[in-house]
Structure 1
Amino acid sequence: MIEIGSRNNAPTPQHKSHDVYLFSIDLSQPATPFCFEQSIGGGHAEQGGARWLALDELDAWPGQCREHLKKADCAWVVELLDANPDIDQATLVSMILKRHAEPGTSGGRLKAIGGWLKRNIHVGGRYDV
């Protein structure tokens, strides 16, 4: 899964310090590649969750994809959607990934690597030697 954007929108009515919206592309699910996540309070167990959608499901989703994309700090995806109303799903995925990889965008390769490190590497314990 390739994280395209994320941002902590806290404080919100749901949580005072952790209400993170995420948008990702999941190439392992070509029928529903668009992943919308919300992490409230640090995870998905109690609140929040994830939803995978196809292009033709975006506007009908009660989670309001455009608002979610803005909260996930990738409003530029909304601009792509609005500028290309008749685009097919594979082309849109390709356009999003290409723009995300460009230097100087809010995404970029280093941000994606940093996001992967934060999700997969945990350093705990005490270091006062």
Structure 2
Amino acid sequence: MIEIGGRNNAPTPQHKTHDVYIFSIDLSRAATPFCFEQSIGGGHAEQGGARWLALDELDTWPGDWREHLKKADCAWVAELIDAHPEADQVTLVSMILKRHPEPAKPAKPVGRLKAIGAWLKRNIHVGGRYGV
């Protein structure tokens, strides 16, 4: 699967800290390549889930695919689909993948202490006059 967009929309009525919307293209499912996922509270087990759809199923899906794409931070996919109403599914998948940016190259490996320091800096906030 190729993740096209994803974003945590929390706080929401469903969860205070984790309500993630994701849109992906699954090339292994040629008939239903568009994957709409929602992770509430950290997973799919209790709340959330995933749904694979074909192009001709988008408008009949009660999940409002355009709103899902907005919440997954890739509203441009809906704009692209709407701008090409005559395009077939294979063409649209190709157009989406061409426009999707290449994944970032992996970061250079760093030493163990630097990695721990970076984690602490990202996750620990010290307030006040002398805070980081």
**TM-score bracket for this pair, using the shorter chain length:** 0.7 to 0.9
Could you say which residue in structure 2 is the equivalent of 1:109?
A: 103
For residue 54 of structure 1, report the CA deviation from its aligned partner.
Answer: 0.2
Could you say which residue in structure 1 is the equivalent of 2:82?
A: 82
Instruction: Report 1 or 2 for greater relative contact order, CA contacts < 8 Å, sequence distance ≥ 6.
Output: 1
Count of aligned pairs = 107
CA distance in structure 2 between the aligned counterparts of 1:94 and 1:81, rounded to whole angstroms: 12
Is 1:48 the counterpart of 2:42? The answer is no
For residue 110 of structure 1, report the CA deviation from its aligned partner.
Answer: 1.2
* Aligned residues with identical type, % of pairs: 81
Letter in 2 for 1:39: S
Structure 1: tracts of 5 or more residues without a match: 102-107, 115-129
CA distance in structure 1 between the aligned counterparts of 2:56 and 2:85, rounded to whole angstroms: 11
CA distance in structure 2 between the aligned counterparts of 1:70 and 1:86, rounded to whole angstroms: 23
Letter in 1 for 2:91: T
**1:2-24, Cα deviation, whole Å (9 max, x unpaired):** 00000000000000000000000
TM-score by length of 2: 0.78
**1:52-97, Cα deviation, whole Å (9 max, x unpaired):** 0000000110000000000000010011011111110000000000
TM-score by length of 1: 0.80
Structure 2: tracts of 5 or more residues without a match: 108-132
Letter in 1 for 2:6: S
